[in-house]
Structure formats: C-alpha cells, structure tokens
Chain A
Amino acid sequence: MSNTISGKNLLRPTGLQCKNLQEYLKSRPPEVLNKLYHNPPICLAVFRELPVIAKHYVMRLLFVEQPVPQAVIASWCSKLHFEEHQKVVLILNELNVWKEASIPGGLPGWILNTTFKKNLKIVLLGGGKPWTMSNQLEIDSKPRDVAFLDSYALERWECVLHYMVGSQQQEGISADAVRILLHAGLMKRDEADGSPVITQAGFQFLLLETALQVWYFILQYLDTIEARGLDLVECLTFLFQLNFSTLGKDYSTEGMSEGLLTFLQHLREFGLVYQRKRKAGRFYPTRLALNIATGQNKPLSRDPEKEGYIVVETNYRVYAYTNSNLQVALLGLFCEMLYRFPNLVVSILTRDSVRQALKSGITAAQIVGYLQQHAHSKMIEAGPPILPPTIVDQIKLWENERNRFIFSEGVLYSQFLSQTDFEVLRDHALSTGVLIWQSERKRTMVVTKAGHDDVKKFWKRYSKGSS
C-alpha cells in the first residue's frame, strides 16, 4: 500500500562544501589534534583563524600559568556581546585550545592547553627546535625572483584547471593528480570510455578563487594521505611551515624524511613549491603555498597576473580582457559569447545563459562572486558596489525563479478501502505532526519519512483491531 517517493531531487544544486581550517581540525579526533599542537606552525595557523575575541582571550591567558575563573574571563567581554562570548568559548573548547580546570576555591576555571600554549610561545618568543626546512644553505647560484615564481605557480595550477575543462592547450597532469580530482568528485569516469570528465562540483570548483581552490584541493589530498602511507601530522606541519615562509626565499630539503620528500614532489607538481631538479636540495615556496589556510582573510595579491580583467556594464554586457582559453571557457559557463578579439572577449548575460549555468548546479552567488573577484581594477575603483546592482539582483532573481518548489522526502499511502480507514490514519498522522499532504477525494496521503514507521505500526494495530 505504501510507496516510497525519493525526495532526492534533481533541481536543487548541491553546493560544493569547502571546510575552513577550523572545521577541518574539529573533524579530526582529539588525539590527532593534540599531536598537531606539538608543532609551532600549526598553533600559529590555528590562532590566526580564531575569532578576534578568542584571539584576545588567548593573548591574555598566554602568560598566565594557573587556571582563570570562568566568571573573570566572561567579564572581559562586554555584556552586550555575551552571545559572541559564548560562541568563542564553544570554539576554544572544540578546538581543545583550553580546557576546564577547577580553581582551589572550587570555582570553575579555564586553563590553556599546555602543549598549545608552549608552542604558541615558541612561535612568538623563540626557543624550541628550528623548523625542518630552515637548514643553512649556500647562496643559490641561480636565484629565482618573485615574478618568476608567480608565473611558474600560475602555469602549474592552470595546468590542473585546463585538464579539468579538457582543453588540449597544455601538457597533461600526473595520474596522482587525476586520482585526487576523481576522489574529490570534481571529475568522474565517463561511462562510455572511462576517461575522466568534469562534474557539476567541478564547475563550481572552477569558479572559486585560486586560494580557495588550492585549499579545497589540498583538503581532498589530505583525505587520501594515509592511504599513500604518508604521516598526516608530518605533512600538515610541513604545509603550515610553507604557509609561513617567505616568498622569494629558498629553503633546504636537508633532514626531511622520505615521506616528506614525496609530499614535496606532489606539492611541486601543483605549483605550490618550485624546485629546479628533484634532487636540488633546495626549494622555493610560491604564492599558492603562502597563506593557504586563510579562507576568510584573503592574502594580499599584488601580482599583475591575477589582476582583474572583467568589466560588467548595466546593459548586461561583460567585457573580459583576456586571451586565456580557460578564462573564456569559464565565462562561457554563464555568458553568451558575442565577439572575440586578440585581447578581449565580449559576451552578454542573458536569462537563458544564466539558467543554463544554474541547471548545471552553479549558484547565483558563485556567478556574482566570480565576476566580482575578477573585476577590472577600474570597476573596483569606481565601486563600491563593484558590480552594477541591477545585474546582481537580476542574476539572483533568475535563480529564485527556479526555486519555486520545496522538496520534502515522504512516503505515499493510497488505495484505502474505506473513507473511515483513510480518515483514522490521516488524523493520526496529523496529530503526530508527520502529515505532509492529503487528499480526501483521492484517499491519498503523504507522511514524512521519519514518521513512516510509526504510522505503519499504527495502521497494523488499527487494521487488526477492526478486523
């Protein structure tokens, strides 16, 4: 009598979930977290990603050796912002940055995690062991400057992106990288010939800004790291050492373990580090590796390569000053191309072109985000707002057009033998609050999936009693 209707719908876009550092660490078991806190660079990265008030608390507690009463800490934050205080307390607890401790008087207090405190102090004041990559090096005979590193990193990274959109412009990427793309669900094997093709999530990934792309990619890579026989803690530590390194400076590979050297080669492939030769003994971090975990506070980007190239006008025209096929292909996801010149592409945003993008799972926010992120400096100077508000609103309206349905998963009950049977069951479902929809005339009703078991049991009891 009952049929299950699958509520998994096709229309609703499945957003690409990119965790920030905090969420990533929270999802790790506490033992791993504590192991990570033994490394000064990770403590610094965790500290930087804390909310501002949490940073203030940690700074004030950094040089305090005994537990501090919770009431005292609460009094540091103004009463008007008590909610924020509670949020901060929760985050610090979850990240295991501090823990509860009772004070000799019996009052509940907090004390900073000793490992975290010790290593944060090392970062700030010095002491402890030097980071693995800081061995002395002789002066490089052919030093690389920042401009070279920037163009190198961009070229390597675009290689991955080009591969994803399937353009034949560039050389291929390694099997390892392909495996990560497949694992991340950014690409999938084509059913016909088994070659990787881009997925919905992949398109969304392409529209992210480079820093976020790299971080998302690295997160996916870290997921597979243990399967490769590498040590997660070691690799994460190294990643954050890179994060806090100086652009344009060379670092030594001396004293690195076999696993780390493999990891370094992977990073090299994606353009996070530059090495002249595999056995060069030195490497240069690139801009991609710097500030890798700063999801919210974007790093400064003064490099000309990343300069914005898109101009959006109120007449829905989009001018892109570029000759990169990748950038043109990305624009083509949600714009209709009109003309192409050597250094300029003219396209137009139409309802159809935007709907096409929305259908493939891209959200309006992502389109607006992409346009904004790559806006030409002239647009930024004229702003804010950077983009014409009418365009932004219209794109959002086009998206809302498609969201007129609300989907809820449920179970259909139909073909009741009598009206009373139907009414009894319907009233029961209504009283327990699991009824989604009913039609008296058709003797049909839908209950939520969670309520299905209960309604089924009730029906069995009822039909036994009446027969």
Chain B
Amino acid sequence: MFKMSNEIETSLLIIVLDVNPVQRIIKQETRILTQCLDSTIVFANAHLMQSSNNQLAVIACHSDGAKFLYPCEKPVEIRQIDGQYEKFTMVERTVRQQLQQVINEISLDKPLNGESLISGALTMALCYVARLEREKIAGEKIYSRILVITASNDSATQYMNYMNIFFTAQKMGIILDVCSLDQELTLLQQGCDITGGNYLKVPQLSGLLQYLLWIFLPDPNVRSKLVLPPPVKVDYRAACFCHQELIDIGYVCSICLSIFCKFSPICTTCHTVFKMPGPIPIKMKKKKKTIDIVH
C-alpha cells in the first residue's frame, strides 16, 4: 500500500563547463559560448525537474583556474517574473551572474593559454562530493555524477592528475560523463570507461541540448533500460612522463610504474638508478642464476 522506508535517494549532478575563450570553436564564432551556456542551464534545470531530491552544482573552468558557479555562497533574492519555477530562475540567474564575474576576472596581461584546467575542476567536484557524503543525514544515499562539457583539447600535461581523478572517482562510485563539442578526447574517454560513464562527441552543435537530454540526463541506474549509443573503442594509450606524448610502446620504471618514451638511467619520479641495458650482462646473469640453483 505505502512504500515505507527511511531511505532518501539523492541524485547529484556536477557540471564542469569549460569557458576558456581560446577554444577553437569559440574563437571562430563567439556566439557559441552563449548557446552552450543556454543549453547547459536548461539541461541543469531539467535535472532538477526530475525529482525534488535532485541536487546540482556547476563549476566553470578556464586556463587559469576553476570556480563554483552554483551553488553560490550568497544566494540572490528573487521574485518570479514569469511562469518559470522559482528554483530554476534562481539557478539560471546565479550561473549567469557568477560566470560574468569569472570572465571579468580573466586577466588579459598574460597571453591566454589554450589549455583548460579541467582536471582542477574535476578535483573540486570530487572534494564537493566528499563533503556532501560527510555531511549527509542518516539514511540518505547520494548518487553522484560529473558531466564535463568542453570544446578544448585534453592535453597530456594533465595526464597524472587525470588518472588520479579517474581512479578516485571509480573508488568513490562517481560516474564521469564527457560531452565534447569539438574533437575526440582520448584521455577523458578513458575516464568515462573507467567510471562507467558515457562519452559523446556532439556531431552537430546546434542540437546540443537534445543530445544532453538524451544521453546525459537519465540517471545511471536507468541508463541500462534505455537504448543509448554503443560505447566507442577506447584508446588506452598512456602519456609518457617526460614529454607528455601518447605512446604505444615505452619504458616503465619497475619501482613506481612511471612511463617514459626514451630510456633514462634515473627515474625522474622516484630517482631509482637503472643499469644500462645491454645484451651481455643479461646473459651473464642468467648463467649465474642457473649455477645458483644447482648449488
């Protein structure tokens, strides 16, 4: 008759929005950033619309840093002006206001860097989830996921950070979804695969909202019931620690598992000293070993 349980299920969505002004598609057509923002806000509200227990956080990141847009420390006082649900109006206004601040704060003195600090924003998201987990009331269950919306390239310079984030997320049971607007992102794709999230490179930017609603709106536990695009084959190449380039075959430190594209006698990560590789010493060792066993 009645479902009686003390369990409260909360679904938390954290959106990481890349607002770096030097992204290729934004440089070509500045309007695109506004369009992406509109779609993102509608998508965020659509998430809140699903259930009264759903929660939302939005983080913006650019080349110099990342900042929470929503929830905001000092919420704005609003009255409805039209038929929109109060809470949605609040999300929309807060995100727009805060984003304006973020963009104004980008300093123009330094040359702009094309690489966004997505890993920084992801770390903030993980910390936020950890805090909510700590503060939750007895009997509450939080299902968290992170959605990255970006048009910049994932560079291998953040390789280590990414890998740490992916495995932490996996351990915390957080799902990472990635929506790429411009190019295939091999590194973040690995993250989706590791944490069980969806990856999509949007084929047509004009349909961004519809793609978001289709693929990224359903909760992970509902996704299995729906038909979503099949997962693409993930490129699992690692980036070397010396030049941050993706490589197929390389050298791995036997102590700390750091990856190098060229042999170096000292591991730069853990400072282990390796012997020079050569065919003769190996043979000698083998001989010695067999003798040892005989004795």
- A368, B209: Cα distance in complex, Å: 46
B-binding segment of A174-182, A316-324, A374-382: A374-382
User: Given A56-B222, A299-B53, A375-B6, A365–B1 Cβ distance below 8 Å?
Assistant: yes
Which among B1, B45, B219, B222 has the greatest number of chain A C-beta atoms within 10 A? B1
Contacts of B101 in A (CB 8 A): none
Interface residues of A, count at CB 8 A? 65
- A458, B271: Cα distance in complex, Å: 102
- A299, B218: Cα distance in complex, Å: 20
Contacts of A298 in B (CB 8 A): 8
- A208, B1: Cα distance in complex, Å: 11
Hey, what's the 0/1 contact readout for A199-230 against B, CB within 8 Å counting as 1? 00000000011001000000000000000000
Instruction: Look across to chain B and name the residue whose beta carbon is closest to the beta carbon of A119.
Output: B83
> Could you tell me the distance in whole angstroms from the C-beta of B125 to the nearest C-beta in chain A?
21
Instruction: Look across to chain B and name the residue whose beta carbon is closest to the beta carbon of A20.
Output: B2
B52 touches A373 (CB 8 A): no
A9 proximal to B (CB < 8 A) = no
> Could you tell me the distance in whole angstroms from the C-beta of B158 to the nearest C-beta in chain A?
33
Contact count band on B: 35 or more
Hey, what's the 0/1 contact readout for A91-132 against B, CB within 8 Å counting as 1? 000000000000000000000000000010011111111110
Interface positions, chain A 410-466, Cβ under 8 Å from B, are: none
A-binding segment of B84-92, B170-178, B236-244, B250-258: B84-92
Interface positions, chain B 175-197, Cβ under 8 Å from A, are: none
B85 touches A44 (CB 8 A): yes
B225 touches A84 (CB 8 A): yes
Instruction: Look across to chain B and name the residue whose beta carbon is closest to the beta carbon of A293.
Output: B52
Contacts of B210 in A (CB 8 A): 60, 63
- A319, B75: Cα distance in complex, Å: 42
> Could you tell me the distance in whole angstroms from the C-beta of B103 to the nearest C-beta in chain A?
23
B83 touches A297 (CB 8 A): no
User: Given A75-B227, A78-B225, A84-B225, A47–B49 Cβ distance below 8 Å?
Assistant: yes
B292 proximal to A (CB < 8 A) = no
User: Given A123-B88, A291-B52, A300–B83 Cβ distance below 8 Å?
Assistant: no
Interface positions, chain B 86-114, Cβ under 8 Å from A, are: 86-89, 92
A381 touches B222 (CB 8 A): no
A294 touches B52 (CB 8 A): yes
A63 touches B83 (CB 8 A): no
Contacts of A80 in B (CB 8 A): 225
Instruction: Look across to chain A and name the residue whose beta carbon is closest to the beta carbon of B218.
Output: A56
B2 touches A208 (CB 8 A): yes
Contacts of B140 in A (CB 8 A): 300
Contact of B84 among A76, A122, A135, A369 (CB under 8 A): A122
- A381, B79: Cα distance in complex, Å: 40
- A125, B224: Cα distance in complex, Å: 29
- A79, B217: Cα distance in complex, Å: 20
Hey, what's the 0/1 contact readout for B53-87 against A, CB within 8 Å counting as 1? 10000000000000000000000000111111111
- A418, B141: Cα distance in complex, Å: 72
A373 touches B4 (CB 8 A): yes
A195 proximal to B (CB < 8 A) = no
Contacts of A17 in B (CB 8 A): 1
Pairs A–B under 8 Å by Cβ, sample size 9: A122-B84, A126-B82, A127-B84, A129-B82, A296-B3, A300-B53, A368-B4, A377-B138, A380-B6
Beyond A124-B46, A127-B83, A365-B4, 5 extra complex contacts between A and B, CB < 8 Å: A15-B1, A126-B88, A128-B82, A209-B4, A294-B52
